[in-house]
């Protein structure tokens, strides 16, 4: 079966067409600036990529253009839409309602809508993508794969905040966690590479990218994770603050004369390593800055690695041990220096980095020495493949 994987944002839409038997990517691409003007980048495997500037007033037009490119005589990879057997949608927030992926029905759409409050920037966009595909491919079954679902196994003691309990009861305020598809994929793949049953492993997955989260996976189940009600909690990220003293919100709002909304914008868009360095949210730029002697660039990288190491320590404690630390996503897969910095705190776990193996970028590798009691690994994530697998499994 060929599965179209859709990841729909407020003004963008990423897609991949995956052959579920060979697990090969047949084509992938990105629609940007939807509702503004519109740009489509389409990369058919084995053919030249194409970039088209084209009017995209809404997501339905964008999906229509994607389907046109996929079946195009020159740039296409399938001869007709009949070849698409299913669509898998990434949905950010499934609340407590969705602990697993589901086949999309009108009831499911209503239940996703009910979670909009919890992810006001993401869920409405995901729903627009679902509705656009339903309109253009009404007979193709669709599956929703939630970022939060993998973490629904967390125990109450891990997901409850120290707030009045009624806020949990009335408003569902609790830790949900995100990047679940990635944490699930990477923890399973970690076990597979080691030839072990996930049930027999304690893994800490460090998903380090523009957004970063750490997850404790005990026996194949998420037992704790660093992101919370929203993806703002946890380690400092590209532009997000991560966990801070909540009193800072009021303090800064008063000092800078900002509204609550403006202050939250600072925490989401102007903080993290961007805020500390004042230079960039991109770890490559920070490395270049640090190499040229920019102290704040070096400091931003240090703060980030230190914070990741603190979560690793906390999760090793709550799982009463850890067998493997797996690094994934843009920074985790490609930045040996950040991995080295994080692992420099983990000698007490009997984890020693093999400096040569740690030079790896974007490839599966065990990067700890043979003598290490706790392993460190690089395991590239593949959320699209995971979504395609879930979609096929459900149908």
Show which residues are catalytic.
147
Give the x-and-dash track for 174-213 against ligand AMP (CB under 6 A): -----------------------------------xx---
Tell me which residue has its CB nearest to ligand AMP: 330
Could you tell me the sign of the dihedral formed by the alpha carbons of 192, 338, 226, 315, in that order?
Answer: positive
Site string for ligand AMP, 227-246 (x = CB under 6 A): -----------x--------
Interface with ligand AMP by CB under 6 A: which range of 20-28, 110-118, 248-256, 327-335?
Answer: 327-335
Classify strands 365-366 and 39-44 as parallel, antiparallel or unpaired.
unpaired
- According to DSSP, residue 34 is labeled T
Shortest reach from residue 297's CB to ligand AMP, in Å: 12
Site map 268..307 versus ligand AMP, x via CB under 6 A? --------------xxx-----------------------
Q: Cα 275 vs. chain centroid, distance in angstroms?
A: 21
Q: Among 51-59, 198-206, 299-307, 329-337, which window interacts with ligand AMP (CB under 6 A)?
A: 329-337
Is 34:119 a contact under the CB 8 Å cutoff?
A: no
For residue 26, which phi and psi values (nearest 5 degrees)?
A: -85, -35
Of 218, 224, 323, 335, which one interacts with ligand AMP (CB under 6 A)? 335
What is the rounded CA–CA span in Å between residue 63 and residue 137?
A: 10
φ, ψ at 226 (rounded to 5°): -85, -25
Q: For ligand AMP, which residue of 108, 331, 349, 360 counts as binding (CB under 6 A)? A: 331
Angle of helix 247-256 relative to helix 260-269, nearest 10 degrees? 110
> Among residues 329, 351, 375, 386, which is the contact residue for ligand AMP, using CB under 6 A?
329
Contact window for ligand AMP (CB under 6 A) among 28-36, 116-124, 191-199, 325-333: 325-333
The residues in 344-383 that bind ligand AMP, with binding defined as CB under 6 A, are 361
Q: Give the footprint of ligand AMP on residues 122-181 (CB under 6 A).
A: none
Q: Which is nearer to ligand AMP, 71 or 287 (CB)?
A: 287
The minimum distance between CB 334 and ligand AMP, in angstroms, equals 3
Of the pair 84, 232, the CB lying nearest ligand AMP is at 232
Question: What SS3 state is found at 84?
Answer: strand
Interface with ligand AMP, residue 384, by CB under 6 A = no
Both tokens of 389, joined, read 């697998």
What are the Cα distances from residue 95, in Å, to 9, 174, 235?
18, 10, 22
Residue 393 CB partners (closer than 8 Å, separation 6+): 101
Contact residue for ligand AMP among 88, 272, 330, 380 (CB under 6 A):
330
Beta-carbon-side half-sphere exposure of residue 67 (alpha carbons within 13 Å): 18
How far apart CA 174 and CA 157 sit, in angstroms, is 10
In the complex, the smallest distance separating the C-beta of residue 194 from ligand AMP, rounded to whole angstroms, is 23
Beta strands in 11-66 (DSSP E): 13-19, 25-32, 39-44, 50-53
Grouping H, G, I as helix, E, B as strand and the rest as coil, residue 169 is helix
- Chain residues that interact with ligand AMP, rule: CB under 6 A: 209-210, 238, 282-284, 329-331, 334-335, 361
């Amino acid at each position: 079966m060929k599965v179209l994987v859709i990841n729909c944002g407020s003004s963008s839409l990423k897609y991949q067409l995956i052959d579920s038997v060979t697990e090969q990517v047949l084509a992938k691409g990105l629609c940007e600036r939807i509702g503004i003007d519109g740009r489509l980048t389409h990369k058919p495997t084995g053919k030249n990529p194409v970039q088209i500037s084209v009017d995209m007033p809404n997501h339905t037009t964008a999906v229509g253009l994607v389907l046109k490119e996929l079946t195009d005589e020159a740039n296409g990879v399938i001869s007709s839409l009949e070849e698409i057997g299913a669509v898998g949608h990434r949905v950010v927030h499934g609340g407590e309602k969705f602990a697993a992926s589901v086949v999309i029905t009108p009831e499911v759409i209503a239940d996703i809508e009910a979670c909009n409050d919890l992810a006001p920037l993401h869920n409405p966009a995901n729903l627009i993508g679902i509705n656009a595909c339903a309109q253009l491919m009404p007979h193709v079954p669709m599956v929703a794969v939630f970022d939060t679902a993998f973490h629904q196994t967390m125990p109450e003691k891990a997901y409850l905040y120290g707030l009045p309990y009624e806020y949990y009861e009335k408003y569902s305020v609790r830790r949900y966690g995100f990047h679940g598809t990635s944490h699930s994929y990477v923890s399973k793949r970690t076990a597979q590479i080691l030839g072990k049953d996930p049930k027999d492993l304690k893994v800490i997955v460090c998903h380090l990218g523009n957004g970063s989260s750490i997850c404790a996976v005990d026996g194949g189940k998420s037992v704790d994770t660093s992101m919370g009600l929203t993806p703002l909690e946890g380690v400092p990220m590209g532009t997000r603050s991560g966990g801070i003293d909540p009193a800072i919100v009021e303090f800064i709002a008063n000092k800078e004369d900002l509204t609550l909304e403006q202050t939250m914008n600072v925490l989401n868009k102007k903080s993290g390593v961007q805020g500390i360095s004042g230079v960039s949210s991109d770890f490559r730029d920070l490395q270049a800055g640090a190499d040229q002697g920019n102290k704040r660039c070096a400091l931003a990288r240090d703060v980030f690695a230190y914070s990741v190491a603190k979560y690793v320590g906390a999760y090793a404690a709550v799982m009463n041990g850890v067998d493997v630390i797996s690094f994934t996503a843009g920074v985790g897969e490609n930045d040996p220096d950040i991995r080295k910095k994080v692992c420099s705190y983990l000698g007490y776990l009997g984890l020693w980095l093999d400096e040569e193996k740690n030079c790896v970028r974007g490839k599966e590798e065990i990067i700890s020495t043979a003598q290490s009691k706790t392993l460190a690994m690089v395991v590239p994530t593949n959320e699209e493949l995971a979504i395609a697998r879930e979609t096929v499994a459900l149908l």
